[in-house]
Amino acid sequence: MNSSNYSLRRRLLLSASLLLIGFLGAMGVVLHNTFEQSVLSNAQDALKNQVLLLMANIDVVDQSVIVPPALSEPRLSQADADLFAQITTPAQGLVWRSDSLLGAKLPQLESQLGEFMFQKKVNITDNLAWADKPKLYSMTFGAEWESDVGDLPITITVAERTGAYARKLRDYRKQIFLWLSILGVALLALLLSLLSWVLKPLSKVATQVEEIEQGKRRRFDEEYPNEVSSLTQNLNQLLNFEEQRINRQKDVLGNLAHSLKTPLAVLKGISYSDQNKQDAQRQLEAMQNIIDYQLQGASAVGRRRFAKPIAIQKPTKQIIDSLQKLHADKQLTVVKQINDDVVFYGDQGDFMELLGNLLDNAFKWASSQVQVIVTNGESISHRSALNIEVIDDGVGIDPELKTTILQRGVRLDSQTPGHGLGLHIAKGIVEAYDGELSIEDMAPSGTVFKVVLN
Amino acid sequence: MRILIIEDELSLQQQLADELRKQDYVVDVASDGEEGLYYGKEYPIDLAIVDLGLPKIDGVEVIKQLRAQGLAYPILILTARNRWQEKVEGLESGADDYLTKPFHPEELSARIKVLLRRSVGLADSTLVCGPIKIDTSSKQVFLEDQPLTITAYEYRLLSYLMMHTGKVLSKRQLVDHIYEEDDDRDSNTIEVFIRRLRKKLDPDASLKPIETQRGRGYRFRIPRN
């Protein structure tokens, strides 16, 4: 998989995750607040009822509040309970408190007459018994008690520990968190599978590009979604165009070379006067070399991005068979070391031209044996290098020819023509593939031509 | 020796034919694959020179068909196509040699000589049967190492007989191999040439190199050394 595909997937995943976290987080907050509101209003209702219940229980006699010892709410009488109450009057201050308060006092709000005041998170203060300062919800109610001696304003405060409510809230929070997390993970998983389904054509493109690079495939498939097929079809067209261009160039140059050669053959066959003969032959020779080297050489395809691997065992054998026919009189031994799986990423014609010229040279000079070794080297970006060694046991290469051939970028037209043309053509092909050609002397006699094509 | 040239470029065809006739070969020419195939099959050809890019039937196909007919005479490809892929294709179809245009006429005739020699199993250009020796490259005849004066037709006849020594060759065969299509072909002249050869090679009638097989033809009697 290539990196642009990766980053597309990563981008989508990242943005979707952020969106999900934000959305689900906000949802969690809203749900929590709503539940908290309902919990608080439950608490308020419960406290109001307690206030009203307490008011039903008390009586006022002679400006003093009388609370019966046995209240209808037993929790108020228990120590260590979670419900508390106290009654105050403006004149006397605290007139009653529940036993559950253990002598402490509830913080109290100034309450308007006939008005409930709710307060969250108040603490019991003032007493060592409540060192843990329990958190409370409190409800304060201001009332005016009518009596014979006049109205008595009293303030009733009821408070309840928040514990039960807080536990409820905590449980609820846990539940929300759990379910929202499950929802988030499920959505992400769904998104992931959707993503890979949506991006599948792109990974297919990547795979096919790789296959085309390796030469296992010539074109992209036709079956792609619209958005991708416009891309792949364009690429297919490009590949077609490239192939056609190469073939056209090859054809044009090949035809030009062929059509020039026959008239040249006729010219060569004409008997010239002794005076002109040498000049004519020299010029004809030069023309022939230009055609052979420049035109033929230019029709070499050279290295291409999308080259099919060709097995080279067969063409090599064909060339050797042909050469043995052409040099039948020499009776040479040919040693061939090529495994069946050796491949060349390039044009078959180029390979045959290269090996043909190297081997032809070897056959020409060898005295008894020609050796050819072809192997695949390490692979660079899907394609393996090709190593060719052609060894003859002849008298060795002319040092001058060796120098001309090894000079980089020296074209034949700037050289003395007619000498080692085949080797120059071979070198041209090696250069078209950005390869390396080296020539070594063999002991005791002979020459080794080494070619590395990447 | 009878050579077939299949070449569609007429000026080159003409030039080749003239050159080879000058070298005492019997030459047939064809300008397309179809015609070439016909000559190649029907005429007693000793060697064919085939261009690859031919009208009607491609040169490679012509060679394949000739070989499929069991015809084993040497075939030399003469073509402007000089990529190895094409050489291999041509040689695989059954050709024996490959010469690319443009070429030196000397190179062509040297190749032809080698191919003809090889086809009759000769290691070099001389052919020796007893005291009689011919040099196929200089086209000279020696008797006991003394050069003989000999005409072109006599040479053609003698070399053909000697290359097929031991075999009975009919008058018809001999005529085909020493005369062109449009020459005045009278098989009686063969008898004249045989008589002259006998006189030159065997002045005292002791060697008797050429036997007459009545009603069948002639046979060169002395085996190759």
- Point out the domain boundary residue: A299, A332, A349: A299
* B92 to A322: CB separation less than 8 angstroms, yes or no: yes
Q: Is residue A47 part of a domain?
A: yes
Cβ-based contacts of A262 with chain B (< 8 Å): 9, 12, 80, 101-102
- Point out the domain boundary residue: A270, A299, A328: A299
Cα of B129 to nearest chain A Cα, Å: 23
Closest CA to A79 of A104, A54, A44: A104
Cα of B203 to nearest chain A Cα, Å: 38
Reduced 3-state DSSP string for A37-51: HHHHHHHHHHHHHHH
Overall domain count for chain A: 3
Same domain, A293 and A324: no
Is A396 part of the contact surface with chain B (CB cutoff 8 Å)? no
Closest CA to B29 of B48, B55, B57: B48
CATH of the domain at A418: 3.30.565.10
Q: Is residue A59 part of a domain?
A: yes
* B102 to A257: CB separation less than 8 angstroms, yes or no: no
Cα of B213 to nearest chain A Cα, Å: 37
Q: Is residue A212 part of a domain?
A: no
Ranking A15-29, A249-263, B144-158 by mean pLDDT, the lowest is A249-263
Pairwise CA distance, residues A24 & B15, whole Å = 95
How many Cα atoms are found within 13 Å in the side-chain-facing hemisphere of A406? 12
C-beta separation of A336 from A317 below 8 A: yes
* B91 to A321: CB separation less than 8 angstroms, yes or no: yes
Tokens 């439950």 correspond to: A42
- Point out the domain boundary residue: A281, A299, A317: A299
Is A258 part of the contact surface with chain B (CB cutoff 8 Å)? yes
Cβ-based contacts of A268 with chain B (< 8 Å): 102-105
Same domain, A317 and A280: no
pLDDT mean across residues, chain A: 82
β-sheet bridge partners, residue A60? A65
C-beta separation of B23 from B47 below 8 A: no
**In this predicted structure, what is the pLDDT of residue B49?**
95
Cα of B83 to nearest chain A Cα, Å: 6
In order, the DSSP letters of A289-306 are: HIIIIIIHHHT-----SS
Same domain, A294 and A319: no
**pLDDT greater at residue A146 or residue A189:** A189
Is A319 part of the contact surface with chain B (CB cutoff 8 Å)? yes
Is A268 part of the contact surface with chain B (CB cutoff 8 Å)? yes
The predicted model scores a pTM of 0.62
- The runs of H, that is alpha helices, within B1-131 are 10-22, 33-42, 59-68, 84-92, 105-119
Same domain, A367 and A268: no
**In this predicted structure, what is the pLDDT of residue A454?**
78
CA distances from A188 to A5, A7, A16, A178, A298 (A): 19, 17, 8, 15, 58
pLDDT per residue as tens digits for the range A349-371 = 889 989 999 999 899 888 889 99
Q: Is residue A203 part of a domain?
A: no
Same domain, A367 and A270: no
pLDDT band, residue A111 (cuts 50/70/90): low
C-beta separation of B29 from B17 below 8 A: yes
Q: Which residues of B touch A (CB under 8 A)?
A: 9, 11-12, 15-16, 19, 53, 80-85, 87-88, 91-92, 96-98, 100-105, 114, 118
Q: Is residue A206 part of a domain?
A: no
pLDDT per residue as tens digits for the range A218-254 = 888 888 888 888 888 888 888 888 888 877 887 787 7
* B84 to A356: CB separation less than 8 angstroms, yes or no: yes
* A261 to B101: CB separation less than 8 angstroms, yes or no: yes
CA distances from A420 to A397, A406, A416, B24, B118 (A): 10, 12, 10, 34, 28
Averaged over B64-74, what is the pLDDT?
A: 90
* A296 to B101: CB separation less than 8 angstroms, yes or no: no
pLDDT per residue as tens digits for the range A257-307 = 778 888 888 888 777 777 777 788 788 887 887 777 777 666 677 776 667
Answer yes or no: is pLDDT of A48 > 80: yes
pLDDT per residue as tens digits for the range A176-188 = 999 999 999 999 8
**pLDDT greater at residue B11 or residue A416:** B11
pLDDT band, residue A417 (cuts 50/70/90): very low
Same domain, A335 and A194: no
Q: Is residue A382 part of a domain?
A: yes
* Sequence-ordered list of residues with C-beta below 8 angstroms from that of B197, at least 6 positions apart, any chain: B154, B157, B158, B210
**In this predicted structure, what is the pLDDT of residue A35?**
92
Q: Which of B15, B101, B109, B114 should be substituted to probe chain A, the one whose Cβ sees the most A Cβ atoms within 10 Å? A: B101
Averaged over A331-353, what is the pLDDT?
A: 88
Cβ-based contacts of A348 with chain B (< 8 Å): 85
Torsion of CA A360, A365, A369, A370, to 10 degrees: -30
Pairwise CA distance, residues A173 & A39, whole Å = 13
Pairwise CA distance, residues A25 & A335, whole Å = 77
Q: Domain range holding A270?
A: 226-299
**In this predicted structure, what is the pLDDT of residue A408?**
59
ipTM topping 0.85: no
Same domain, A293 and A397: no
β-sheet bridge partners, residue A143? A154
Instruction: Give the one of A261, A321, A352 whose C-beta lies nearest to B84's C-beta.
Output: A352
Same domain, A72 and A9: yes
Closest CA to A445 of A395, A391, A389: A395
Same domain, A245 and A192: no
Answer yes or no: is pLDDT of A114 > 70: yes
Same domain, A260 and A407: no
pLDDT per residue as tens digits for the range A365-407 = 888 899 999 988 876 666 778 899 999 988 888 877 788 777 7
Strands B47-50 and B2-6: parallel
* A268 to B102: CB separation less than 8 angstroms, yes or no: yes
Cα of B220 to nearest chain A Cα, Å: 28
**pLDDT greater at residue A64 or residue B113:** B113
Instruction: Give the one of B53, B97, B103 whose C-beta lies nearest to A265's C-beta.
Output: B103
Q: Is residue A406 part of a domain?
A: yes
Same domain, A122 and A268: no
* B91 to A266: CB separation less than 8 angstroms, yes or no: no
* A266 to B81: CB separation less than 8 angstroms, yes or no: no
